[in-house]
């Protein structure tokens, strides 16, 4: 629920991790659905879909204020990495070595941020 201006800023801190988790779940569910239809989820067109569903879910967090600036930085970095992955699928063939190199770099960074989000959610940050 959005706050009115008199109530102060609508900080995203309390909901950011659940939004990120929902986006990741949406991505995972789409992958499962595509695989169930016999589609290759490493093919560029399908990769674009699974990345886009996560971006669509998470993108509003980028414009929201956070009390915790480190959490905000991590969330924005995560969304930027999703956009980077989408750009990679548009620029390179999924069978090219450059795709593999760039995809792996962004995937590793994204995975590290997901671990950070688990830590945030568990109160370890």
The answer to whether 107 and 85 have CB atoms below 8 angstroms apart is yes
Question: Average per-residue pLDDT in the chain?
Answer: 91
Alpha carbons 72 and 113: distance in angstroms, whole number: 12
Within a 13 Å sphere around the CA of 100, how many CA atoms are in the beta-carbon half? 3
Say whether pTM exceeds 0.85: yes
Q: Is the pLDDT of residue 120 over 90?
A: no
Tens-digit pLDDT profile for residues 15-73: 999 999 999 999 999 999 999 999 999 888 999 999 999 999 999 999 999 999 999 99
- How far, in Å, CA of 91 to CA of 103, rounded? 11
The CATH number fitting domain 13-121, selected from 3.40.50, 1.10.1660, 3.30.70, 1.20.120: 1.20.120
Count CB neighbours of 117 within 10 A: 20
What share of the chain has pLDDT > 70, as a percent? Answer: 94
């Amino acid at each position: 629920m959005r706050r009115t201006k008199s109530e102060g800023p609508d900080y995203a801190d309390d909901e950011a991790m659940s939004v990120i988790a929902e986006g990741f779940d949406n991505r995972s569910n789409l992958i499962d659905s595509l695989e169930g239809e016999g589609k290759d989820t490493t093919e560029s067109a399908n990769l674009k879909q699974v990345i886009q569903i996560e971006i669509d879910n998470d993108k509003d967090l980028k414009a929201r204020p956070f009390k915790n600036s480190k959490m905000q930085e991590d969330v924005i970095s995560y969304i930027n990495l999703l956009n980077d992955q989408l750009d990679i699928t548009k620029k390179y063939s999924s069978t090219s070595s450059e795709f593999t190199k760039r995809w792996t770099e962004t995937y590793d960074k994204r995975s590290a941020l997901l671990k950070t989000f688990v830590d945030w959610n568990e109160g370890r940050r």
